[in-house]
């Protein structure tokens, strides 16, 4: 099924939220999961324009995940207090049902309530009440979608998380932050020189990235809320590929101060640089394992670029990838069990995953210029950059390769995606 | 159509003065660069010379298409940072120039084609720049005159997705003082 979800669908109300000058990412679903739970989301009751916008965001979130099949809720009005006719909902094919309402409060804010029902058990299984402003409508909808997703799948939802990526238009690079559905893009940094390798701090408050604004690659750490940033590594030569330690105190980085590209550890404030690994070739793209024990990285020490891992505390490097002559950009799933990377097969660069226990590799995509894979914080989807029709776009694929989405910005190249952590 | 854009216009050579870490060069040094033959300058005057600065003749050679010194690019094979033998003679000319003009510095910019990881390409570009630097040092150039940096895949000279274009981007460029 192909469905285009226009990000402008939510109406006039949202125009005030989004920065008008920023082109929005639009999402196209190009593949869906095989086992999808049928769910009906009744139109939330309340002030029509606003409640409809809310309902549509909840529906798009759930549908985009590839794990739900939306069932037509019909036109009969209902809210969280309406007793559902479970027999009727079951006959319509809905295993789950959500209904709610949105009401204005005297102080100009809103209160949104909803209930989630299991039509088989004929019982309410979750409920929530949230107060918010009109500017927080999408955030509220994402929170509700997260609750529904978690209750029905047993995993945390990622609809309230954020993504970072770089948009390149003529002579301009912009580091942007958007909701996981591509909406509400905000510019964190604009530059005439390239920006690459954004990496979220574990608390989601900061980004480390590489900017060429001083005519050479320098690593900055940028506090998103305040816009304050500092240089984390600016040594002779190039400074790149920052990766946060799980405790958020250190960065693994690549420096060329002692010759070729080599791995170092540095405190987030830029102090205390120490060598992490050493080879006569290229070592780059460090990434901590979620337990902080290992550094995964790309190295050509064996003659071609392959993925290796090495204990952070010291010890020998072990080679992890063996098939093919080009396996790069290691990214660990949040549970540490799966490795995503980019593999070259013929002239095609595609996202693959390796089950670290069995070493089984599965190529997930059928595109040809994939780069920068990044796991969703629940480990379900992998966001990556690729090229479609000569233009850089972001795409997402589920770890089983079944669910596929594409996010693009009109008339610009989008690249270097990084999926942020769960919000606290 | 294949479009090759030189990293810096040769016109920049005329702006030699005041760039980088070089002391401002006297205006007169620009004469040759403006493609007037230095010998044609007949206006009486004093041409200040700063010891160690290249002469107008030497600078002219850097952009004279007939001089090997005008050739500044070393091309590499896919995934490789080995300087091919065919570049030894070109590197020899540049080594000689740097030896003769001890105040001149060279910035070597390594580049990679657009395919694959940006970070790996940044590292690959660095290795290519380092390889050119090492080759020049083997030919006697002092390390202090040389600096290697990488632009990775970020500044492609050729922007089409074709093999011939990618080959143009797997490149090390040699830039002299005033050109960077």
B10-176: CATH class = alpha beta
Q: What's the confidence (pLDDT) of residue B5?
A: 47
Q: What's the confidence (pLDDT) of residue B40?
A: 57
Q: Hey, what are A54's tokens?
A: 């809310």
> Looking at the partner chain, which of A238, A329, A344 has a beta carbon nearest the beta carbon of B149?
A238
Q: Do A284 and B130 touch (CB under 8 A)?
A: no
- Name beta bridge partners: A165: A176
Residue identified by tokens 């590197």 is: B91
Average pLDDT of chain A is 91
**A386 CB within 8 Å of a chain B CB:** no
Cβ atoms of B100 and A178 within 8 Å: the answer is: no
Chain B partners within 8 Å of A390 (Cβ): 161
> Looking at the partner chain, which of B118, B130, B152 has a beta carbon nearest the beta carbon of A371?
B118
Q: Do A285 and B154 touch (CB under 8 A)?
A: no
Give residue ranges of B with CB < 8 Å to any A CB. 79, 115-120, 122-124, 126-127, 130, 148-150, 152, 154-155, 161
Domain limits, CATH 3.40.50.10070, in chain A = 32-153
Chain B partners within 8 Å of A344 (Cβ): 116
Closest by alpha carbon to B170, among B130, B112, B127?
Answer: B112
Q: What's the confidence (pLDDT) of residue A260?
A: 87
> Looking at the partner chain, which of B117, B122, B155 has a beta carbon nearest the beta carbon of A238?
B122
List the single best residue of A256, A329, A414 to mutate versus B (max B Cβ within 10 A): A256
pLDDT digits (tens, 9 = 90+) for B52-108: 567 777 788 898 999 999 999 999 999 999 999 999 999 999 999 999 999 999 999
Q: Which helix (H) or strand (E) holds B57?
A: helix B56-63
Q: Which helix (H) or strand (E) holds A179?
A: strand A172-179
* pLDDT surpassing 80 at residue A272: yes
Q: Hey, what are B172's tokens?
A: 């090390």
Q: Do A390 and B117 touch (CB under 8 A)?
A: no
Residues above pLDDT 90, as percent of chain B: 62
Q: What's the confidence (pLDDT) of residue A4?
A: 36
If pLDDT is split at 50, 70 and 90, which confidence band does B37 have? Answer: very low
* pLDDT surpassing 80 at residue B27: no
* Phi, psi angle pair for A372, to nearest 5°: 50, 60
Q: What's the confidence (pLDDT) of residue B178?
A: 87
Q: What's the confidence (pLDDT) of residue A326?
A: 98
Average pLDDT of chain B is 80
Q: What's the confidence (pLDDT) of residue B52?
A: 56
Q: What's the confidence (pLDDT) of residue A120?
A: 94
**A348 CB within 8 Å of a chain B CB:** no
Q: Do B119 and A259 touch (CB under 8 A)?
A: no
Q: What's the confidence (pLDDT) of residue B59?
A: 80
**A423 CB within 8 Å of a chain B CB:** no
* pLDDT surpassing 70 at residue B46: yes
pLDDT digits (tens, 9 = 90+) for A173-209: 999 999 999 999 999 999 999 999 999 999 999 999 9
> Looking at the partner chain, which of A259, A298, A347 has a beta carbon nearest the beta carbon of B120?
A298
Q: Do B117 and A329 touch (CB under 8 A)?
A: yes
**A161 CB within 8 Å of a chain B CB:** no
* Residue B21: other Cβ atoms inside 10 A: 6
Chain B partners within 8 Å of A238 (Cβ): 122, 126, 149-150
**A370 CB within 8 Å of a chain B CB:** no
Chain A partners within 8 Å of B116 (Cβ): 326, 328, 342, 344, 349, 371
Q: What's the confidence (pLDDT) of residue B39?
A: 55
Cβ-Cβ pairs closer than 8 A, A with B, add up to: 83
* pLDDT surpassing 80 at residue A311: yes
DSSP state of B32: H
Q: What's the confidence (pLDDT) of residue A245?
A: 98
Q: Considering only alpha carbons, which residue of chain A is nearest residue B150? A: A238
Q: What's the confidence (pLDDT) of residue A412?
A: 85
Rounded CA separation A201/A223 (Å):
10
Q: Considering only alpha carbons, which residue of chain B is nearest residue A373? A: B117
Residue identified by tokens 């920052």 is: A242
**A194 CB within 8 Å of a chain B CB:** yes
Catalogue the long-range contacts made by A294-299 (C-beta closer than 8 Å, 24 or more residues apart): A295/A252, A295/A263, A296/A320, A296/A330, A296/A332, A296/A339, A297/A263, A297/A330, A298/A327, A298/A328, A298/A329, A298/A330, A298/B117, A298/B119, A298/B120
Q: Give the dihedral sign, CA A343/A346/A347/A350.
A: negative
* pLDDT surpassing 90 at residue B7: no
> Looking at the partner chain, which of B120, B127, B152 has a beta carbon nearest the beta carbon of A285?
B120
Q: Do B154 and A196 touch (CB under 8 A)?
A: yes
A375: which residues sit within 8 A by CB, 6+ positions away?
Answer: A331, A332, A333, A334, A340, A381, A382, A383, A419
**Regarding predicted confidence, which is higher, A348 or B52?**
A348
Q: Do B120 and A349 touch (CB under 8 A)?
A: no
DSSP state of A369: B
> Looking at the partner chain, which of B123, B148, B154 has a beta carbon nearest the beta carbon of A282?
B123
Chain A partners within 8 Å of B161 (Cβ): 390
Considering only A249-258, B38-47, B144-153, B169-178, which range has the smallest mean pLDDT? B38-47
The CA-based dihedral angle spanning residues A14, A15, A18, A19, taken in that order and rounded to the nearest 10 degrees: -170
Rounded CA separation B7/A329 (Å):
29
Please compute the mean of the pLDDT values over residues A365-370 and round it to a whole number.
95
* Phi, psi angle pair for A138, to nearest 5°: -65, -40
Q: What is the CATH code for A162-419?
A: 2.120.10.30
Q: Are strands A96-104 and A123-132 parallel, antiparallel or unpaired?
A: unpaired
Q: What's the confidence (pLDDT) of residue B26?
A: 35
A32-153: CATH class = alpha beta
What ranges do the domains of chain B cover? 10-176
CA–CA min distance B47, chain A (Å): 34
pLDDT digits (tens, 9 = 90+) for A51-92: 889 999 999 999 999 999 999 999 889 999 999 999 999 999
* pLDDT surpassing 70 at residue A230: yes
**A211 CB within 8 Å of a chain B CB:** no
A229: which residues sit within 8 A by CB, 6+ positions away?
Answer: A220, A221, A222, A223
Please compute the mean of the pLDDT values over residues A401-412 and round it to a whole number.
84
* pLDDT surpassing 80 at residue A364: yes
Whole-complex ipTM: 0.90
Please compute the mean of the pLDDT values over residues A119-128 and round it to a whole number.
96
Residue B37: Cβ-neighbour burial (10 angstroms; 0-12, 13-18, 19+): exposed
Chain B partners within 8 Å of A307 (Cβ): none
* pLDDT surpassing 90 at residue A290: yes
């Amino acid at each position: 099924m192909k469905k285009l979800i226009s990000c402008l669908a939510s109406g006039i109300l949202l125009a005030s939220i989004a920065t008008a000058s920023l082109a929005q990412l639009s999402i196209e679903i190009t593949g869906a999961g095989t086992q999808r739970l049928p769910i009906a989301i009744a139109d939330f009751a309340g002030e029509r324009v606003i409640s409809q916008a809310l309902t549509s965001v909840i529906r798009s979130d759930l549908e985009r995940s590839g794990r739900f099949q939306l069932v037509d809720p019909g036109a009969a009005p209902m809210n969280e207090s309406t007793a559902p006719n479970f027999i009727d909902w079951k006959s319509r094919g809905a295993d789950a049902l959500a209904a709610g309402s949105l009401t204005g409060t005297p102080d100009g804010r809103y209160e949104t309530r909803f209930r989630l029902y299991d039509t088989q058990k004929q019982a309410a299984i979750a409920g929530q009440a949230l107060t918010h402003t009109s500017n927080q409508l999408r955030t509220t909808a994402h929170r509700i979608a997260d609750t529904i997703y978690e209750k029905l799948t047993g995993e945390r939802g990622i609809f309230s998380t954020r993504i970072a990526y770089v948009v390149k238009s003529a002579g301009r690079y912009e580091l942007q932050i958007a909701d996981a559905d591509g909406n509400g893009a905000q510019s964190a940094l604009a530059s005439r020189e390239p920006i690459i390798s954004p990496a979220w701090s574990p608390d989601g408050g900061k980004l480390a990235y590489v900017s060429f604004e001083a005519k050479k690659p320098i690593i900055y750490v940028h506090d998103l809320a305040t816009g304050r940033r500092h240089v984390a590594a600016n040594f002779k030569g190039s400074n790149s590929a920052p990766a946060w330690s799980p405790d958020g105190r250190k960065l693994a980085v690549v420096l060329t101060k002692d010759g070729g590209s080599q791995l170092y550890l540095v405190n987030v404030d830029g102090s205390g640089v120490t060598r992490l690994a050493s080879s006569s070739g290229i070592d780059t793209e460090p990434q901590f394992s979620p337990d902080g024990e290992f550094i995964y990285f790309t190295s050509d020490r064996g003659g071609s670029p392959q993925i290796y891992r090495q204990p952070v505390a010291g010890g020998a490097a072990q080679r992890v990838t063996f098939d093919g002559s080009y396996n790069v950009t290691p990214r660990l799933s949040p549970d540490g069990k799966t490795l995503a990377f980019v593999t070259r097969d013929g002239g095609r660069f595609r996202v693959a995953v390796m089950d670290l226990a069995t070493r089984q590799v599965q190529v997930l995509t059928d595109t040809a210029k994939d780069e920068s894979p990044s796991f969703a914080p629940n480990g379900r989807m992998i966001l990556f950059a690729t090229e479609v029709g000569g233009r850089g776009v972001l795409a997402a694929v589920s770890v089983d390769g079944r669910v596929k989405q594409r996010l693009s910005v009109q008339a610009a190249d989008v690249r270097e995606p990084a999926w942020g952590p769960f919000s606290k | 159509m294949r479009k090759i854009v030189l990293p810096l216009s040769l016109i920049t050579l005329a702006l030699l003065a005041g760039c980088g870490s070089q002391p401002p060069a006297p205006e007169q040094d620009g004469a040759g660069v403006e493609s007037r033959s230095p010998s044609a300058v007949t206006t009486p005057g004093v041409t200040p010379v700063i010891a160690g600065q290249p002469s107008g003749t030497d600078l002219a050679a850097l952009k004279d298409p007939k001089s090997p010194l005008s050739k500044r690019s070393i091309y590499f094979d896919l995934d490789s940072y080995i300087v091919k033998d065919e570049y030894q003679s070109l590197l020899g000319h540049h080594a000689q120039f740097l030896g003769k003009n001890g105040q001149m510095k060279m910035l070597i910019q390594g580049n990679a084609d657009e395919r694959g990881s940006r970070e790996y390409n940044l590292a690959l570009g660095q290795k290519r720049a380092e390889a050119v630097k090492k080759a020049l040092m083997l030919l006697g150039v002092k390390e202090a005159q040389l600096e290697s940096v990488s632009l990775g895949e970020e500044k492609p000279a050729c922007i089409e997705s074709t093999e011939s274009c990618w080959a143009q981007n797997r490149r090390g460029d040699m830039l002299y003082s005033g050109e960077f």
